[in-house]
Structure 1
Amino acid sequence: MKPVVYSALIGIIVLLTIWQARAQTPSSRVSGVIRDAETSEPLPGVNVLVPGTQEGAASESTGRFEVRLPEGVYTLRFEMLGYRPYQVDNLRLEKGANRVLNVFLIQQALEYGRAVEVVGERELSREPSGSVMEIRSEEVRGRAGALEDVTRTLQTLPGVAAEGDFSGKMYVRGGRVDENLVLLDRIYIYEPYHLNGLVSIFNPELIKDIEFYAGGFPAKYGQAMSAVIEVYNRYGQRGPLQGSVGSSFISSDALVEGALPGPRGSFLFSVRVNYYDRIMDWLKLPESYFRPGFYDYQLKLFYPLGKKHLFEVNGLYSGDKLRWSVDSEDEFIDLPTASEKFVRKQALGVGNVDWKWILSDKAFVHTNAAYIYNYFDARYLYPTTHWIYFVVDNYDLRSEFTFIPFPHHKIESGFYLHRVEADYTLSFPKAYWDLLYTTNRNTSVRLSDDSTLASAAYRSVYQYAGCYLQDQWEMLPGKLIANAGMRFEYLNATAQVVVNPRLALVYHLNARTLLKSAWGWFSQFSRDPLVFDPAAGNRRARAPLAEHYILGLEHRFGGNYLFRVEGYYKKLRDLITTDPQINYDNDGSGFSRGADVFFQKKVSGKWSGWLSYSYSVSRRKDHPAQPYYYPLQDQRHTLSLVANYQPRARWNIGLKWQFNTGKPYTPIAEVIYLPDSTGTIIPLPVEGAENSARFPAYSRIDLRIDRQLRIWGNPGEIYLEVINLLNRNNVYDYNYNSDYSEVKAINQLPRLPVLGLKVLF
């Protein structure tokens, strides 16, 4: 969307605002905070209904709600999945009155597998932001084709393109994977995936809800140019000790939860383990088979001190490993010797202390301090060992303050301090260094005594600071809401200060329809410490910048159907690219534009699911003098259908269909044959224009059938999932033989049945 069009539409909204203001009459206000009756935890997402009217609201992340009504007598009803409904009758409102209600909801046990979300007549967003979707756990758990990984369900949302069947990573609206910000319980996670994206670290049994911003996100989020994915894990259930165990082709998991000593505390502990490598060893399969394995351990402790101080401790330790050996004469495998072995290990550790301080129903403070540990070790053995090894220690402090000084203003401010200590060690054959030396001036590389190995050691320490201030202003009560914010960021490695203004508007045409728009600057310092290394990098490299323009329409049909359409334009500048003289510079630029369409049937009744379509164009260039090219994430058309059907009380059938046009790749234009120093003729491929060809279109249908039953006297579930039901050959890449005379397609997942079992206790 062009900026001039965006400006014109903003003008139209302002004119509508003035027109509506002339007819606006004073209204009364009912507000307050909704909490869990047992833990005093604020409850977000509670539906606040006013029977007999089209008015209503949903509570915010702090539990706060607000409803505006004309003078009269009303009934207010509070409903949320997993809690008993609560109703306030005969609530009398005088003209211009401000009533405060502090509501406590009591938890209610759910029949396993039969949870139904109760949705009010009005669930449109009242908080202005960009392209945001709030996704609840029941909307992502147990979906067909997800392979027990929520990120694969997120890949079906509008604006999202997947890397492929072997990865849960996401391209959002033409952005790269590393341009997304991923948070778990407010903690920044640099690499939230196992095995380079094969499966995420997010355990679907623990997730409470997910906030997904495809663009135009508010000023409280920094260090992202493309999208924000924020995952919140739930608290443990209080009461008698309970839990579950489950197993499938993908992994086995166990969960236990219960009450802590004291009046209201709870704990939750989970373990998830993958055992591919052990099964392959037990079956004595050839060493040429990939042997992956991963594990996750997660802990959450929650303890309130009174009703104003809520404390929680979060712990996560996850890791993965991969072994692979090749001893083959396959002409499509080009090895330096007859045998090669690869060993890769990775680990992530997170410790987080979280404190919520509820000063009043109009003021809140949320602070957390965290330590994040990243470890990576990849070794190649043939016959000389070479490796890449690094350890990164991260120290985070984040605090946010929310204050509601006036009826129509909500002011938020906060800061984020981040310190990184990174140690890298690399060792590789001297021949590799000789090959790369002409395009890299790094003088920190040294040769070994026998001159067969080159090695390098780096240590990078840098500090990042960010702060923001934003005001959510209800300019026209019940009609127009604005969120204007400013974010400031600083990185000591470059001594650069960036300022990011942001603005979002929501205009309610009526109780079921709204217009939304957003504009802003979104800077992101490089996450690679080598970029700022004194020898290997460039300390003058600036933070790349994305400028977002977004305009959308949202409409709700009844209580459970939602339709949304959005158009966007993203302008990119100061992208970091490699340079033979100074290693890195800011010569890159680009843009992406497109439109997203989304239609959803909420979890209610027998049917639920969504249909999404995205049209996207993304182009970039690495130097002003070079032409634009299509980056790997450019995907023109993407269509996804996700559906769930409950034919009977204990059965559930899930279906997922994904279709997209092919991604770009660089073809081989021709092969020339030249003699080497011994006179042997060797083939040399000549590549065509960068990413000038496209892979074939992708299409995949997945099916899942769930059945609830009693297992050893306990409630349980068994499911059968079939990935790629029609066994379609979707091309992932092409591979050539040694003389480039033949090409072979590398296909993605074939038809793959998966059987799983879960037991509750």
Structure 2
Amino acid sequence: MAYKIISNRLTQTTAVVMCCLGSSNAVNGQTLVPDETLTEIVTIGEWGDARDNTQVSVETERLLGVAGAVEDPLQAVFSMPGVTFSDDGEPVIRGSGPGDNAFYIDMVPARNLYHVWGNSIFNKYVIRDFELHPAAFSSQYGNATGGVIDVRLRDPKNVPFETTASLSFLQAAVLMESRISDNQAFYVSARQSMLDKIAKEEDLTEENDGVIIEDSPSSSDYQAKYVWEVNDRNRLSFTAAGSSDEAGARLTDNNNDVLVDPDLAGAIDYSESFDSQGLNWKWKSATGLSSFSLLATNMTEESDFFYGGNQYLKTDVDRTSVRGDYSVSLLNSHTIKAGLIYEDNAYDIDANQKFVSCSDFDANCSTTDVTIQRYVNQVEVTRLTAYVEDLFKLSDKQELTFGLHYSSDDYLDDTQIEPRIRWNYQVDDQWSTYIALGQYSQLPDLEYIAPDIGNPNLETIKANHFVWGIGQSLGHGWSWKTDLYYKDISDLVISVTDPLHPDFDKNYTNRASGKAYGVELMVNKDRVGKWDGWVALSLGKAERTDLINNETIPFDYDRPVMFDLVANYHLSDRWSFGVKWKFQTGDRYTPIVDVARNSLNSRVLEPIYGQRNSETTPDYHRLDFRVQYKKEKAWGYWSVYADIINLYGRENVSGYDFAPNGVDVLNQPPAGFGSNVPVSTSVSQGAIPSIGVEVHF
């Protein structure tokens, strides 16, 4: 829907609002510790595993000390090979768009794992671990053509009542946990942003740019979990989670976006929230060779965006799902997994705004001369998904996993059966290799398939993945691994702007494709002695092809080179230090080659765009530093930490803005821009300090 159009147009407003909590370029881009396996983060076993699922995993604990992460483990994903961040701070994985990924919380599909302002929606101490599947993921995951991030929340500990509380410039958090009986326990966590309580709106407002901050950006989230160990073979758990984000501003007549579309002048109010509840029953056989789980969940989402005085977009979503998973070990060589998932997604849309067909292939989606329209509709999508997977142990050194993923929906009336296969080979004690490939599919975004403004007859987007990896353990904590990957994407959605095209009245069609390919290297040093760290290097290419015009262009998130270096030094049991340096090639942008007066309003100066994504901003790099002191006490512990994000104050360019108001216009236009085009630069903040304290008792 037009929300994408509007959010892209309000570039300066977004930049001002994001500065309050640190832009995505200032907060994201953190580091994830690699494990000894290939392509995936190590998975702590399900219920019944010998490891303790009430504890944060060693891998997750290690991430809490990464410089610049501000003790947020899920920030770590942005420094994995092949992973970068979008303009909105969402993960971009191996040349796929941020909307091409799937997110799970305890195997429940989630809309997102991050607040709008960049930090994750979880208290750090409730994340047991998480998996990143950057490509060729297994058959149990669906509705994604990019990658998968699967977060596992830990179980509550059966201990007397205890509390962990923390306070920093960015947020306040409290986690309470306790036993109820010998076989029942719970925890509940709540967090609230703090910068909006500290900073005044007038201090956040930039002079002369036409944006007045009226409500500082704020965010909050909660998680709760209850577990009842009924007996040795049955357990019941209940999980609840939610988050919210909101902000408010006002655009004056001097704002650059208002000067292009006067109907944007006025107040902007944004709010987004979700609440979810899930009930999970797990059973295992007396022999431990088979298990079954049944999960029922409900999630409600609300998104309200008001702007331009009388324009708005309100979307309410009610998601209900039931999932059953079964696993059995046979003949000491086969492990069979199968599952069935039913999902019902009900969307209520209420909008009063300008509607323009616009996709990722369009350089400009002008709303200047478009009439505001009221749109009210309901869309319901019911999906049935099933999978089966056989892990066949060929020998002590080889494993073969073959699976099928089935999906169907009653809205597009589409059915997909997708084979997926993976071969693992442990050459010897040091060397290992694998090959993985599969077919994947995903429903188009709601804005593309909604009746009247979209095309309800679109096809699902499809992708083929291929990955080959090899790795070696070198001893003394050292190891390395490399992946070679290729993604072929078809039936991508593109807008139809030519009145002579047969699908012009449908607004969108599946006449686009894409490719992404590259090689990645990760060198890891586990903690042996006082230090640990890792290096990640990615070389890749991502492109998209408009099949209507037979034109291939670089993808929005084409990043030929990405590099991360992390080092942590543990001086003693109390003192630890960390540094992280990140580098990547700049963002793709579409230059403005000329300007013209609007034919209906001579006061409006409109940009004329050149070739899509033909130029690149300067390279991005930054250095983060962290120090922490932790003191154990008889009653628990207390700690204090300090993070400095972007230590040397690099002002990384995130884009160039059309600036008809003449504020901060560059003397020399960037590459590709016409000499008569007024342009300003959007840059990340300089050094950002964060100090926090934590107490556990």
TM interval, shorter chain, is: 0.7 to 0.9
Amino acid across the alignment from 2:452: A
Residue 212 of structure 2 aligns to a residue in which SS? Answer: coil
Work out which of the residue numbers 676, 698, 704 in structure 1 matches 2:620: 698
Shift of 1:338: 10
Separation of aligned partners in 1, 2:548 and 2:202: 56
Residue 686 of structure 2 aligns to a residue in which SS? Answer: coil
8 A contact 1:319–1:347 mirrored in 2? yes
- 1:362 and 2:289 aligned: yes
Separation of aligned partners in 1, 2:202 and 2:605: 40
| Aligned equivalent of 2:690 | 754
- 1:61 and 2:45 aligned: yes
Separation of aligned partners in 2, 1:64 and 1:259: 20
Change (3 A) 1:207 1:62: closer
- 1:578 and 2:501 aligned: no
Shift of 1:712: 11
| Aligned equivalent of 1:456 | 375
| Aligned equivalent of 2:174 | 254
8 A contact 1:329–1:338 mirrored in 2? no
| Aligned equivalent of 1:293 | 218
- 1:347 and 2:273 aligned: yes
- 1:200 and 2:120 aligned: yes
- 1:598 and 2:522 aligned: yes
Separation of aligned partners in 2, 1:411 and 1:330: 60
The residue correspondences of 1:283-682 to structure 2 (distance < 5 A) are 288-289=212-213, 291-327=216-252, 329=254, 334=259, 336=262, 340-359=266-285, 360-382=287-309, 385-428=310-353, 432=354, 436=356, 453-475=372-394, 477-526=395-444, 528-558=445-475, 560-579=477-496, 580-671=504-595, 673-674=596-597, 676=599, 680=602
Amino acid across the alignment from 2:105: L
Shift of 1:392: 0.3
Amino acid across the alignment from 1:556: S
Separation of aligned partners in 1, 2:609 and 2:419: 43
Amino acid across the alignment from 1:457: V
Amino acid across the alignment from 2:109: Y
8 A contact 1:146–1:152 mirrored in 2? yes
8 A contact 2:281–2:295 mirrored in 1? yes
Shift of 1:181: 0.8
| Aligned equivalent of 1:160 | 83
- 1:173 and 2:94 aligned: yes
Percent sequence identity is 24
Change (3 A) 1:386 1:690: same
Shift of 1:537: 3.0
Shift of 1:626: 2.4
Residues 388-422 of structure 1, C-alpha deviations (whole Å, 9 max, x = no match): 10110000111111111211111111111110111
Residues 527-586 of structure 1, C-alpha deviations (whole Å, 9 max, x = no match): x33444343333331111110111110212226332110101111111122233212221
Unaligned runs of 5+ in 1: 1-46, 48-57, 66-77, 84-104, 109-114, 118-135, 440-450
| Aligned equivalent of 2:8 | none
Structure (1 or 2) with the larger CA radius of gyration: 1
| Aligned equivalent of 1:16 | none
Superposition TM-score, scaled by structure 2 size: 0.83
Amino acid across the alignment from 2:657: N
| Aligned equivalent of 1:92 | none
Separation of aligned partners in 1, 2:598 and 2:282: 71
Separation of aligned partners in 1, 2:510 and 2:253: 43
Separation of aligned partners in 1, 2:57 and 2:72: 22
Residue 618 of structure 1 aligns to a residue in which SS? Answer: strand
Shift of 1:381: 4.8
Amino acid across the alignment from 1:391: D
RMSD of aligned alpha carbons: 2.8
Separation of aligned partners in 2, 1:330 and 1:620: 33
Shift of 1:264: 2.1
Amino acid across the alignment from 1:463: T
Separation of aligned partners in 2, 1:170 and 1:698: 17
Residues 329-357 of structure 1, C-alpha deviations (whole Å, 9 max, x = no match): 46787372796221111110010011211
8 A contact 1:705–1:720 mirrored in 2? yes
Residues 106-158 of structure 1, C-alpha deviations (whole Å, 9 max, x = no match): x99xxxxxx995xxxxxxxxxxxxxxxxxx31132232111343332110011
Separation of aligned partners in 1, 2:147 and 2:677: 42
Separation of aligned partners in 2, 1:412 and 1:152: 31
Separation of aligned partners in 2, 1:175 and 1:721: 31
Residue 229 of structure 2 aligns to a residue in which SS? Answer: strand
8 A contact 2:168–2:194 mirrored in 1? no
8 A contact 1:116–1:604 mirrored in 2? no
Change (3 A) 1:148 1:250: farther
Amino acid across the alignment from 1:372: M
Residue 581 of structure 1 aligns to a residue in which SS? Answer: helix
Amino acid across the alignment from 2:175: L
Separation of aligned partners in 2, 1:665 and 1:313: 46
Separation of aligned partners in 1, 2:340 and 2:64: 33
Residue 198 of structure 2 aligns to a residue in which SS? Answer: helix
Residues 475-507 of structure 1, C-alpha deviations (whole Å, 9 max, x = no match): 1x2111100111111011122110100110001
Shift of 1:623: 2.3
Change (3 A) 1:619 1:361: same
